């Protein structure tokens, strides 16, 4: 009986702690973290007024396949939109591994519409050089050149993408990180552009759903976005747009993946400008 009481108290305390983190890590806190990240890689971004910040942010999410945007980045996309940032998406393949590219293109547009990104701000790059295939290493030169061109064309000042492990370890995800960090280290991103990578966490933490939040909150990160039930519902609806991908385990993913609730990012270091140009 005593053990049961202790377990109940522990569970309730843990849930209250999560509630308290939701209270602490509110949108105002994310806005402050965002300003700090922007100042990190962007000497021109010197507005002390955090309230003005959001309108100046032109964020680009870089993904490899249709469905990456909602499976991995939904909390950040929803958070930035709520902060009134202009959000763009560049998906570097149309997801043609099983010859479903045409359907997946439509699914991506539907998913982005649910998340709040208009069609005009979604670009799906489709080339033989960057195929949807985990067994083919993408050329860093080709990927970085596509990314740089898009970043310049849309005056992007914040790039968000995978980290070196790519959440799932997919080689197309990690190739994007390599391309972005190459651009950053050689100083070939626009002067006013900051780079962020989505932190990959262990498999055990990954499937703890929102219960993982205290761990993410305690560990260091430069930017954190979390969503409550309304945001999770929106992310779930976006994921359901990817009809060709809805195998049974995707439903488990929707309910148990911590990435559907929490995104934490680290700043990608940038080197001196224009060391080498492709
Ligand atoms: Zn992917």
Residue 114 has pLDDT above 90, yes or no: yes
**What's the CA-to-centroid distance between 176 and ligand 1, angstroms?**
11
**What's the CA-to-centroid distance between 24 and ligand 1, angstroms?**
31
Listed in sequence order, the residues at least 6 apart from 77 whose beta carbon sits closer than 8 Å to its beta carbon are 61, 69, 87, 115, 116, 117
Residue 48 has pLDDT above 90, yes or no: no
Question: Does residue 275 fall inside a structural domain?
Answer: no
**What's the CA-to-centroid distance between 9 and ligand 1, angstroms?**
40
Question: Does residue 110 fall inside a structural domain?
Answer: yes
* Rounded Cα distance, 137 and 173, in Å: 10
Question: Does residue 8 fall inside a structural domain?
Answer: yes
**What's the CA-to-centroid distance between 121 and ligand 1, angstroms?**
19
* Rounded Cα distance, 69 and 63, in Å: 7
Q: How many distinct structural domains can be found in the chain?
A: 1
**What's the CA-to-centroid distance between 212 and ligand 1, angstroms?**
22
| pLDDT of 104 | 96
**What's the CA-to-centroid distance between 264 and ligand 1, angstroms?**
18
**What's the CA-to-centroid distance between 210 and ligand 1, angstroms?**
22
Tokens of 102: 């045409």
What would the pLDDT profile of 20-29 be if each residue is shown by its tens digit?
888 888 888 8
Instruction: For residue 44, give its domain range.
Output: 2-267
* Rounded Cα distance, 221 and 266, in Å: 6
Question: Does residue 25 fall inside a structural domain?
Answer: yes
**What's the CA-to-centroid distance between 225 and ligand 1, angstroms?**
20
Question: What separation in angstroms does the CA of 35 have from each of 84, 208, 209?
Answer: 13, 30, 28
Question: Does residue 225 fall inside a structural domain?
Answer: yes
**Lowest-pLDDT choice from 11-15, 44-48, 173-177, 212-216:** 44-48
What would the pLDDT profile of 145-190 be if each residue is shown by its tens digit?
999 999 999 999 999 999 999 999 999 999 999 999 999 999 888 8
Question: Does residue 278 fall inside a structural domain?
Answer: no
What CATH number is given to the structural domain containing 155? 3.40.50.10320
Question: Does residue 277 fall inside a structural domain?
Answer: no
Question: Does residue 141 fall inside a structural domain?
Answer: yes
């Amino acid at each position: 009986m005593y053990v049961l009481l202790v377990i109940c108290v522990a569970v309730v305390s843990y849930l209250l702690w999560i509630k308290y983190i939701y209270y602490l890590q509110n949108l105002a806190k994310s806005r402050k973290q965002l300003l700090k990240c922007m100042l990190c890689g962007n000497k021109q971004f010197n507005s002390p007024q955090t309230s003005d910040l959001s309108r100046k942010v032109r964020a680009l999410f870089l993904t490899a396949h249709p469905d990456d945007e909602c499976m991995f980045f939904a909390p950040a996309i929803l958070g930035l939109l709520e902060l009134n940032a202009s959000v763009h998406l560049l998906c570097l393949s149309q997801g043609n591994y099983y010859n479903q590219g045409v359907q997946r293109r439509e699914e991506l547009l539907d998913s982005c519409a649910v998340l709040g990104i208009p069609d005009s701000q979604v670009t799906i790059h489709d080339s033989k050089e960057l195929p949807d295939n985990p067994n083919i290493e993408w050329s860093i030169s080709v990927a970085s050149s596509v990314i740089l061109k898009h970043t310049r064309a849309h005056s992007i000042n914040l790039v968000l993408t995978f980290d070196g492990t790519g959440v799932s370890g997919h080689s197309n995800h990690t190739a994007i990180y390599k391309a972005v960090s190459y651009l950053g280290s050689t100083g070939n991103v626009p002067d006013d552009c900051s780079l962020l990578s989505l932190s990959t966490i262990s498999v055990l933490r990954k499937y703890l759903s929102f219960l993982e939040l205290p761990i993410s909150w305690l560990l260091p990160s430069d930017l954190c976005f979390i969503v409550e039930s309304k945001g999770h519902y929106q992310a779930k609806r976006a994921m359901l747009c990817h009809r060709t991908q809805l195998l049974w385990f995707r439903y488990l993913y929707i309910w148990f993946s911590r990435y559907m609730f929490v995104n934490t990012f680290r700043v990608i270091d940038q080197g001196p400008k224009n060391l080498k140009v492709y």
